[in-house]
Amino acid sequence: MAERQCDVIVIGAGTAGLHAYKTATARGADTIVVERGPGGSTCTRVGCMPSKLLIAAARAARHCAEAGRFGVEAAPVSVDAAALWARVRRERDRFDAAIRDEYHAIPDDHRIHGSARFAGPDSVMVGENRIVPRQGIIIATGARPLVPETLEPVRDLVHTHETIFELDHLPQAMAVLGAGPVGLELAQAFARLGVAVTLFDPGDTVAGLADPATNAAAIAALGHEVTLRLGVEAEATRATDGRALLSWEGGSITVDLILAATGRPPELTALDLKASGLELDDHGTPVFDPESRRCGDSAIFIAGDANAWRPVLHEAARGGRIAATVATGGDAPRPLPAFAITFTEPNLTEIGTAFADLPDDARIGCAKVADNGRATADGVAQGLVRLYADRDGVLLGASIAAPEGEHLGHLVALAVDQGMDAARFADQPWYHPTVEELLQMAARDIVGSEQVLV
């Protein structure tokens, strides 16, 4: 058994891990990355990027199908599934190669291929080799999709986001389990490509929207394209024709394919966390401080999807940087406003304080997308903007189901980070005609119109 000393160990070379490695190294730490796979990130390989590529194709199909209302007549839309998947994978592979290149650019003596497990609170084993860091261990092992056991009877028809982008055809009928961002984005995309999509979720929210008004608006908008079965748990059995039969109280459908999008728990099992001595939560995830990503008062940090907190890329990247900074004696920066986007049309996004966590005397400003000139001109005037402020008018966050909502979300995030109040936010150069005017309308709704004359 060999023993190696270093300053920082990073377990996992995905988004969080690569950022942690680069930051620790830039801060002068002798840093070792342990990666058991080929490198590459969830985002580029099976997440953000292939889904956005599929969504781009789906949007193209939708635009063609809807062009008639503008006086533009296209031929009946047909999808060349082979060409579609070829573009998705070709571009996906380019994105993924760039991330793998980053991994392979790490010098050989700072990179260990293998599976890491804790050998105690202060060291890690990779195979027979012990690595002992002087400053810290950063867990950045990511998350993996869960396939519910109830799908075992039809397991061969089940995909997750890790396999769905390897299809070479489009199913005729498809069930999506889970109304989170992954399930919703792919459900709408496949529907736009001509697949009959039914989405099941035992809960009554979509995209995890905490605001009931926005949630209702989102459901109304998405329901035009996807059959939404919320509050419904379907049982999967094998149909006589070999397809999957999904049955629930009151109905059943037969589908060619099931997308399981029911959750992505942290990938921690191989780490032997018991040996780390860390306190674990009910799901077996180390208890950690979201600001520093430090686990308890240990020298172990957890960043990225592995910590199940804000599983979005910018927090994974920043989390890796923060963990590396704090592990090497630096300070954690301010936390950013929470920000999540589901890239359906309309975009669904919540920023900052969630509806359920608003103070009792919070002020909520509303703007209906139907009242926005630009959205009307573009033929996408459906949705709702809800902007939150405290009793003094200081912006706290927003819940948005709107066309171009991803862009509105960035503006709210910036304003919340700046501690802006609604009056100042209302008095910005909101250009006409843009969907951004919805934010002005919502801010004025908070301030009261008589106070926004100038």
Q: Which residues are catalytic?
A: 432
Nearer to a copy of itself, 62 or 117 (CB): 62
80 is in an annotated binding site: no
Q: Looking up tokens 């889904």, which residue turns up? A: 51
Nearer to a copy of itself, 36 or 63 (CB): 63
179 is in an annotated binding site: yes
CA atoms within 13 A on the CB side of 383: 28
34 is in an annotated binding site: no
Distance, CA of 321 to CA of 314 (rounded, Å): 11
Nearer to a copy of itself, 198 or 328 (CB): 328
183 is in an annotated binding site: yes
Question: Pick from 318, 222, 203: which is nearest to 263 by CA?
Answer: 203
- Give me the least distance between CB of 256 and a copy of itself, in Å please: 19
Please give the structure tokens belonging to residue 384.
């709702």
- Give me the least distance between CB of 386 and a copy of itself, in Å please: 19
433 is in an annotated binding site: no
- Give me the least distance between CB of 79 and a copy of itself, in Å please: 6
Please give the structure tokens belonging to residue 19.
């950022």
Return the amino acid letter for 201.
Answer: D
Return the amino acid letter for 101.
Answer: D
Nearer to a copy of itself, 154 or 396 (CB): 396
Contact 254, 173 (CB under 8 A): yes
Query: Cα–chain-centroid distance for residue 316?
Result: 11
- Give me the least distance between CB of 315 and a copy of itself, in Å please: 8
Contact 157, 145 (CB under 8 A): no
Distance, CA of 297 to CA of 275 (rounded, Å): 16
368 is in an annotated binding site: no
52 is in an annotated binding site: yes
368 conformational bin, left if phi > 0, alpha if psi -120 to 50, beta if neither: beta
359 is in an annotated binding site: no
Distance, CA of 57 to CA of 80 (rounded, Å): 11
Nearer to a copy of itself, 23 or 262 (CB): 23
SS3 at position 327: helix
Question: Pick from 426, 440, 453, 421: which is nearest to 373 by CA?
Answer: 440
Distance, CA of 321 to CA of 76 (rounded, Å): 49
Nearer to a copy of itself, 50 or 157 (CB): 50
- Give me the least distance between CB of 412 and a copy of itself, in Å please: 10
Buried b (16+ CB within 10 A) or exposed e, 348-371: bbbbbbbbeebeeebbbbbbbbee
- Give me the least distance between CB of 399 and a copy of itself, in Å please: 16
Distance, CA of 290 to CA of 332 (rounded, Å): 10
Q: Looking up tokens 């509105």, which residue turns up? A: 408
Q: Which residues participate in the annotated binding site?
A: 52, 178-185, 263, 305
**Where is the binding site for FAD, in residues?**
52
- Which residue numbers belong to the known binding site for NAD(+)? 178-185, 263, 305
